[in-house]
Structure formats: C-alpha cells, structure tokens
Structure 1
Amino acid sequence: MTFAATVLTLYPEMFPGPLGVSLAGRSLARGDWSCNAVQLRDFAPDRHRTVDDTPAGGGAGMVLKADIMAAAVRHVADGRPILAMTPRGRPIAQARIRELAAGPGVIILCGRFEGFDERLFDAHPEIEQVSLADIVLSGGEPAALAILDACIRLVPGVMGAPDSGVEESFEDGLLEYPQYTRPFEWEGRTIPEVLRSGDHAKIAAWRKLRSEDDTRLRRPDLWERHRDVRDQPASGARHDTKEPDQ
C-alpha cells in the first residue's frame, strides 16, 4: 500500500523539498509513498485568486477564508486523516505519527498569515488542528514537511533495518539512550566500558537506565507521563476498595 500525502498550500513548490532526497527521496522514486501539492489559490473564484481577508473585529494581518479552505479540503477529501497546521493546535506526538504511517496517507492543510477562519473547523470537525511544537512559524509548510518525514520513515521499506524505528526517542515514552561509535578514545573521552563488554543483558540494562535518567532530567514532562502509564494497574485488576461480600 502506498502512503499518499496531499498538501494544500500556497507554496506547492516547497514539496517534496527535502523529502525528495536521501531515504525518503529514494522511496518516493520507488513508489513507496506519493506527494501531491495542491495550490490553494486554485479554489478562489475571483480573478485575483484571493484566499484571505482582514480579521473580523480588526487587527493586524490577514485570515485565510473559510469558504476557500473548505472548497480545497472537500476537493481532496477521500477518507484519509486531515490535519490543519496551526499554532492553536495540539502538538503532535509520536503515537499519532505511528497511527498515520500505518494508514493510507494524510492530507495536510498549511496555514499562513494570522491563521484560519474558525468556521472552517466548525463545519469540518474531522479536521485535526495540530502544531509541531510550542513555536510560531511563518507558515505550515515547514511543519508539514517535518510531520511527513516522521511518517514516511515508518512506511515499510523506507528504512533499512526493521528495528530502526523502534528503539528511538518517544517510541516508548522516553528519550533514547546516548549513542557512541569509534574511535574508542576521543579528546580524552572514552566510550562507556559496558558498551564494549559484549554482554547484551548488561548493555540493555545500561541503556534502559540511561534512557530513564536522561528523560527524568531533560524532559520531566515526558517522565511524569511515562511514570503514570507505567504505574497504572494491570488490565483486569480490581480498582475498588470495598471488602468482598461475607
């Protein structure tokens, strides 16, 4: 099954962009995934191909028109998930990326200017409002590229080793353990001895400990979520505190 990516954008020339090189580019050439960039201005009925207007109530900037955006969405909608890139959206997580990568593809609507007319989302609640992080970009295109890259690398056949996408940051709710390679000594710093021991059990234990420690110190938000999930009662366990019937 080919992973089909459709991007609704004012700048279709930005796609596939960096996704046209390296592993993603080779898999695109093989047909493992496809990329279709659609010009939003094609859905504007006026001769100036206008897609935006001034904010209701006043204010700086321009707002993407609901009627134009909706026409573009309806033109490409085919059952695939639809994401709208906006800083008002929920930051996307690796778990959602993995869900998207396992499906037929994704449609991404790229925001610009001051964002979208909110009525677009009222009329189309199936559109997921997502952001890349708690940052503001000049438009949704760079974020769309990052999300597509995260999805495409999980498409079967894109990465060389089947396990490459498993032992990485966020896959199990933790940051990945630190990595090392030759030379053994560099500027007086050496590779941890356990990684040269050949004892796979000790190596696995060291990596797990470092992953947990680094997450706890660097990303306490992730560590708290991981700990909450880890400490949840096993399925089927009793949750009530009542004494059993006598």
Structure 2
Amino acid sequence: MRVDVLTIFPEMFEGVFGTSILGKAQNKGIVTLKATNFRDYADNKHSMVDDTPYGGGGGMVLKPEPIFNAVESILSTSDMDASESHSSEIKDEAAHVHQPARIILMCPQGETFTQKKAEELAQEDHLIFICGHYEGYDERIREHLVTDELSIGDYVLTGGEIPAMTVIDSVVRLLPGVLGNATSAMTDSFSTGLLEYPHYTRPAEFRGHKVPDMLLSGHHANVAAWRRKEALRRTWKRRPDMLDQIELTSKDMRWLDEIRREEDRGTDH
C-alpha cells in the first residue's frame, strides 16, 4: 500500500511514520508513507495556499489550485510505478490489478470514521489524505477531487493532521504482516461487532487480585466461550447500542440473559 499525506506541516509526520508499528511496516516494505507540503504546488510567487472567502466572512479558505496540482503530481508518479510493476508481472496471470487512489479529505463534516471503514480502506492500493488548516476548503475540492470525506468525531481541531494520523494508524495495522500476531486485528474491539474481552497476563495473582480461573484452565474451547461471554458483557454494559447492529446467536442471547441476572445480583464473574 502507498499512503500520501498533503499538509503544510509535513514535519508533524516524521516521528509518527518512522516509529512503532508504522515504522516497522515501512521497514518490511508493506506500506510506503510520505507527507508532502502542498505549499510547493501553489501557483503564485508567495506560495499562498489560502485566501479570503467570496461573499465575506471570517477566516481563510484553502485554495483549489495547490491541492489539485499536488494530487495530480502524486497520481502521475503512482501511475508510472503501477505501469512498471505491471510490466514486470505481465506474464503472471494472477498479477494484482492496480486500483485507483482513494482521495480522502479530513473534515469535521465528513463521515464518522469507524473500524468498518478502516477495514474497507485497508483493501486499497493507494490512499491520499488532504489536511487543511483554515476555515474550510474551496468547495470544488470536495465536488471534483476527493472520493471520501472523513471525520474522527464531532469536534473541531486546528487541522487535519492528527485525524489523518489516526486513520492511517488504524488502516495500516490491518495490513497482512504488520502485526506480529495475525489474529490481533481480527479480535479487536469493533472488528467483531463487540467490544473486546478482558485480557490478563502474569502474575496469576497481583496484590490479592486473581486472574479468572477459566483462563488458567488450559481448556481452549471453554476459554473461547468465556471470552465471548465477557465481550458480550462489556458491550452490554458500555455500548449496548452495538448489540442492535450485529446478529446474535441463540447462545449469545442466553449468555446475555445470564449476564443481566448476574449483574442484577451483583455477583462476581
């Protein structure tokens, strides 16, 4: 996967892209991460990327020219890379079919980002993120350039850089080979439709608090059942709205009845 970020503060991404899971993913060749200063693509001598809004009003609006120019430049290099890759694999009937880039505008007005959206974007070859730092974007960017508008929540930040980092981290960790344990992403909260079950590690007892006996039993089927029930319990207590969005089995329904009774009695589990 290739990920490009358009920003006037590319230095913000240096540490994020070079460390932890994202850094390891790059070192493994699984993903290419690059932040580009779209000020370099401004078509005026002062490299201005914003201007006052037509009709008046406060704040500045991001101009369309530098964004369109930057995206077109990135796409041209991406097309050349894809062409070279295709030429080297032309004899391979199973060669990967190159997909067009998804161009993502980070914006408070956008679709709320979810784990489902992360899983969708993780299937793409090329993602381009646009990060603004002003009152808004020229509407022609929305209408004629971007494919997606994303928001990480109903609040406003000073720019799109931190939201873009959030989305990129969430997407890249889902790529095959990025996480050391292939099942980690599959059992994450939200990936299964439920919040994740509780985790424990050594020691088995810490300051009088013990690990549940079931997890020490070594009985894999029983451990799996315990985890499913505890995931249901945690979801029911913290995010009951999520239970309306997934298909529950008859066993899940029985467990939920047990959980309600146990919680009503205040019993330990």
Q: Shorter-chain TM-score category?
A: 0.7 to 0.9
Check the 8 A contact 1:15/1:35 in 2, yes or no: no
1:5 aligns with 2:25: no
Quick one: structure 1 residues 214 and 56, their matched pair in 2 at CA, closer, same or farther if it must change by over 3 Å? farther
Output the TM-score relative to the length of structure 1. Answer: 0.84
C-alpha displacement at 1:93, in angstroms? 1.5
Question: 3-state DSSP class of the match of 1:119?
Answer: helix
Aligned CA distance change for structure 1 residues 9 and 209 (closer, same or farther; 3 Å): same
Residue equivalent to 1:239? none
Partner of 1:220: 240
Counterparts of 1:110 and 1:230, CA distance in 2? 39
Q: How far apart are residue 58 of structure 1 and its match?
A: 3.3
Which residue does the alignment assign to 1:242? none
1:67–1:120 contact (8 Å) kept in structure 2? no
In the TM superposition, 1:24-39 aligns within 5 A as 24-39=22-37
TM-fit CA distance, 1:230: 4.5
TM-score, structure 2 normalization: 0.77
Percentage of identical aligned residues = 42
Corresponding residue to 1:135 among 152, 155, 161: 155
1:49 aligns with 2:76: no
Who is 1:192 aligned against?
Answer: 212
Q: What RMSD, in angstroms, separates the aligned Cα atoms of the two structures?
A: 1.9
5+ long unaligned stretches in structure 2 = 80-99, 250-269
Q: Give the conservation status (yes or no) of the 8 Å contact 1:16–1:35.
A: no
User: 1:76-95 alignment to 2 at 5 Å?
Assistant: 76-77=74-75, 79-95=100-116
Q: Is the 8 A contact 1:6 1:35 kept in 2?
A: yes
**Conserved 8 A contact 1:63-1:115:** yes
Q: Which AA in structure 2 matches 1:25?
A: G
Of Structure 1 and Structure 2, which has the larger fraction of its residues in helix? 2
The answer as to whether partners of 1:184 and 1:190 remain within 8 angstroms in 2 is yes
Question: Which residue, out of 170, 184, 194, partners 1:164?
Answer: 184
Contact 2:107 2:150 in 1 (8 A): yes
Q: Deviations over 1:58-91 (max 9, x none)?
A: 3332111123322322332352111110111011
Q: How many residues align?
A: 226
Report the Cα offset of residue 112 of structure 1: 1.4
1:100 is the counterpart of 2:98: no
2:127 is paired with a residue of what secondary structure?
Answer: strand
The gaps in structure 1 that reach 5 residues or longer are 232-246
**Deviating runs (4+, > 6 A) in structure 1?**
none
Report the Cα offset of residue 42 of structure 1. Answer: 1.4
Question: Structure 1 residues 218, 13: closer, same or farther in 2, change over 3 A?
Answer: same
3-state SS of 2:175 partner: coil
Within 2, Cα distance between the matches of 1:18 and 1:119?
30
Partners of 1:41 and 1:51 within 8 A in 2 = yes
Distance 1:82 1:32 in 2: 20
1:95-150 CA-to-partner distances (Å, cap 9, x unmatched) read: 221222222131111121222122221223x5200012223222111111111111
